[in-house]
Amino acid sequence: MNPSTLPNNKQIIIERQNFQRLLDVLKNQGYQLRGPTVREGAIVYDEINLVKDLPEGWTDVQDKASYRLQKRDDKALFGYVVGPHSWKKFLHPPVLKLWEAKRCEDGFEIKEKVAFTPQYAFIGVRSCELHAIAIQDKVFIEGPYVDTTYKNRREKIFVVAINCGEAGETCFCTSMNTGPQVSFGFDLALTEVIQPDRHYFVVMIGSAKGHDVIKEIPHTKASNQEISIAQSKVEQAREEMGRTMDTSDIKNLLYRNHDHTQWDKVAERCLSCGNCTMVCPTCFCTTVEDVTDLTGEETTRVRKWDSCFTMDFSYLHGGSVRTSVKSRYRQWMTHKLATWIDQFDTSGCVGCGRCISWCPVGIDITEEVAIIQEDKAKEKNDENA
């Protein structure tokens, strides 16, 4: 097909050998590429430039407190689920300099902040991650207070999404209605198909920007058979989902169970380390620190990711409000699954499973909910007896 006549609403095929061209076109359009790559035994999101930077032939095996990379028996570029990083580190940076001040004769003067907004192309965004970005949009852009750093970065991104062809042991996106099929928020959405004699991507175009990129890449129109093969990959992921969560009435369930004995039990195991909040793609809390140089001449104010698991996080005049681990775990889970709904009209959990894999003691949010749900079932049985 002549690239310039590409119809906007059709699915197309890009062969694996032309995938580098996609990266090159995006780079030529001024994007900094960020995507999956292998580092220190994990698949992390970082700068990429070449197909060889991608985790070709690797997969991840995950469970409670467990994450391992393993070689695949094919050369899939996106044959893993999700690692410890999420795209929030690019849109909502872990450390952000807010301003600098320098001592002067009359006191101090604020140095002019040089605004720089990187233009990222995200390569390999999962459906649950697009939902997580949409949740952070509600927090940072759609509320009464707009975070300009987030907004400026967000407006410039180009999203190459990837439909999941496999689900992880810790995934439960189907329970949260966030996957595994990409449904919005992308410029291009890919499904990777590997056959004994062929490796290709079925591509759906989601925007005019996506259309302009595809025009530069060799492609063919997808046949009905190729589209149906891609669809069956996503169905396979849906059926393989490692975990589930019953979200019916979850908000009221958690509100009713503020004093449930399970909070004490989870507190016996929880280290209050905050890992779950760091890896979560929707957690957004920050703190602010002033860092002064040793001479006392210059100071910098930085914003850093914070966690509701620290004592300082709930420090008000006179001390912390949530002094026990129990109160901090309950705050985190109740915020994710209940108060978030009141606050932002959405759950704060997309079912990515990161907090399960990266909790050092294997606390599993789906199990914690299920235990409280079990008591609800007992309550009902008692009422009917």
Which residues contact ligand SF4 by CB under 6 A? 270-276, 279-282, 309, 329, 336, 349-355, 359-361, 363, 365
Give Cβ neighbours of residue 274 (< 8 Å, ≥ 6 apart): 307, 309, 310
User: What minimum distance in Å lies between the beta carbon of 328 and ligand SF4?
Assistant: 8
Nearer to ligand SF4, 85 or 154 (CB): 85
What sections of 187-260 are H helices per DSSP? 208-214, 224-239, 250-256
User: What minimum distance in Å lies between the beta carbon of 336 and ligand SF4?
Assistant: 5
What's the rounded Cα separation, in Å, for the pair 26 and 30? Answer: 7
Nearer to ligand SF4, 157 or 359 (CB): 359
User: What minimum distance in Å lies between the beta carbon of 43 and ligand SF4?
Assistant: 16
User: Are the CB atoms for 3 and 25 separated by under 8 Å?
Assistant: no
Question: Which amino acid is residue 374, in one-letter code?
Answer: E
Q: Report the 10 Å Cβ neighbour count for 315.
A: 13
User: What minimum distance in Å lies between the beta carbon of 158 and ligand SF4?
Assistant: 24
User: What minimum distance in Å lies between the beta carbon of 282 and ligand SF4?
Assistant: 5
User: Are the CB atoms for 179 and 189 separated by under 8 Å?
Assistant: no
Give Cβ neighbours of residue 143 (< 8 Å, ≥ 6 apart): 344
Nearer to ligand SF4, 136 or 191 (CB): 136
Nearer to ligand SF4, 11 or 277 (CB): 277
Nearer to ligand SF4, 28 or 323 (CB): 323
* Residue whose C-alpha is closest to residue 347's, from 123, 178, 228, 156: 178
User: What minimum distance in Å lies between the beta carbon of 273 and ligand SF4?
Assistant: 4
Nearer to ligand SF4, 61 or 65 (CB): 65
Q: Strand order in 298-305's β-sheet?
A: 107-111, 95-104, 298-305, 286-292
